[in-house]
Structure 1
């Protein structure tokens, strides 16, 4: 466990930290303003009750799946292209542990980023509502509790869906563009489910399952697929 912890910290030190934090800030700024935009410009129905508002916020937060693709690209694909992963393969540890550390680092970063995004979006929506009334229901204590519990579940969902492109597009094919396209499709599928009359929850379960499978295969086959 101590080795895994050191490897996770090493992954952070290897990245362009200022660039990543700047990217995160941009995502936060955009996502925290989108609920108000959608309610004002698309449909006021989103502000009629808590369930509709939270469903809107949760669907917006899935935009961070695209940030997940960016993290996967920097942690895996760029290391392959720059040949810096060769140094990592020289460590006196198994490649499975190395890949597990990389995956854990990405998962923690995406999860915490999404948690913060939910919080910022909730606060921003509440404050903007004071200036431009868009919420037509009273916020209760139970609403706040539901928001926090949904925030945890929603962040976990975003994290799992983010890993869908990991095994095939990132580790096997090492294709940045394909990884990003896959992420865009994955994050939009639940939002399109109503158009095609699919069960939204079922779509999310399937996407999370594919993400979990991608995670498993990435670590399980690290000794073979992980070769340069």
Structure 2
């Protein structure tokens, strides 16, 4: 399985992927500071609240997952390399599982790195130009570590929401990206739906898991070129 995951990495235009990731990381590093100073100053009342805000900001990595679905599935269908992949000595279900695991590993790693970079940058900026009230405690650090791990797992699963319908069945780039944007933004508009944002995140995670399951279960049928 690891061999096929590495093969998926070699198929990508790696320079463009690194450039895309760098853009995400740079934006995420400064978004918490921007939002607390300009948009939502109430989240600067404590590090606990700043951590909560950052957990929703990091949902932006879901868009990276949508981009990978485009590269790993849609583009390979369109440029006929998917047909070559079907010649591997493994079942299509296993092939799809390898592709999905590759995307999941990349999104999870990107989310962890983004959390670390944004946390460090927010802390350093706050040292020189304080905008978060109170000191950073050990409890805050532990909370941040726990939030980083759990949210990164949720982000990884949510990033697969468009996989089955738009990535494998319809093989449509624009709807895939639009669905990813909607998934990452929906928790921010939960107040208009009169539901708690974490409820929205949980529903999106369930949808992502269903999309994953359907993608592998129907690989033999919908995997046709």
Which TM-score tier does this pair reach, normalised by the shorter chain?
A: over 0.9
Paired residue for 2:115? 118
Paired residue for 2:31? 34
SS in 1 for 2:193: coil
How much does 1:195 deviate? 3.0
Q: How far, CA to CA, are the matches of 1:84 and 1:47 in structure 2? A: 49
Paired residue for 1:12? 9
Normalising to structure 2: TM-score of the pair?
Answer: 0.98
Paired residue for 2:139? 142
How much does 1:56 deviate? 1.0
Q: How far, CA to CA, are the matches of 1:63 and 1:111 in structure 2? A: 12
Paired residue for 1:22? 19
Q: How far, CA to CA, are the matches of 1:217 and 1:196 in structure 2? A: 27
What do the CA deviations read for 1:8-32 (whole angstroms, capped 9, x no partner)? 0100011111110111011000011
- Asked whether the equivalents of residues 193 and 199 of structure 1 are also in contact (C-alpha less than 8 Å), the reply is yes
Name stretches of at least 5 consecutive residues in structure 2 with no aligned partner.
none
Aligned pair count reads 225
Asked whether 1:108 is paired with 2:108, we answer no
Q: How far, CA to CA, are the matches of 1:172 and 1:43 in structure 2? A: 40
Normalising to structure 1: TM-score of the pair?
Answer: 0.97
How much does 1:183 deviate? 0.6
- Asked whether the equivalents of residues 93 and 216 of structure 2 are also in contact (C-alpha less than 8 Å), the reply is yes
Q: How far, CA to CA, are the matches of 1:185 and 1:154 in structure 2? A: 17
Asked whether 1:131 is paired with 2:159, we answer no
SS in 2 for 1:164: coil
- Asked whether the equivalents of residues 96 and 222 of structure 1 are also in contact (C-alpha less than 8 Å), the reply is yes
Measured at CA, do residues 195 and 52 of structure 1 come closer, stay the same or move farther in structure 2, by a change above 3 Å? farther
- Asked whether the equivalents of residues 47 and 137 of structure 1 are also in contact (C-alpha less than 8 Å), the reply is no
Asked whether 1:175 is paired with 2:172, we answer yes
Q: How far, CA to CA, are the matches of 2:90 and 2:125 in structure 1? A: 51
What do the CA deviations read for 1:87-109 (whole angstroms, capped 9, x no partner)? 10011110000000000000000
- Asked whether the equivalents of residues 76 and 171 of structure 1 are also in contact (C-alpha less than 8 Å), the reply is yes
Paired residue for 1:201? 198
Paired residue for 1:154? 151
Paired residue for 1:72? 69
CA RMSD of superposed structures (Å):
0.8
Q: How far, CA to CA, are the matches of 2:3 and 2:185 in structure 1? A: 35
Moved over 6 A (4+): none
Q: How far, CA to CA, are the matches of 1:114 and 1:53 in structure 2? A: 17
- Asked whether the equivalents of residues 5 and 101 of structure 2 are also in contact (C-alpha less than 8 Å), the reply is yes
Q: How far, CA to CA, are the matches of 2:40 and 2:201 in structure 1? A: 23
The range that moved more, 77-86 or 197-206, is 197-206
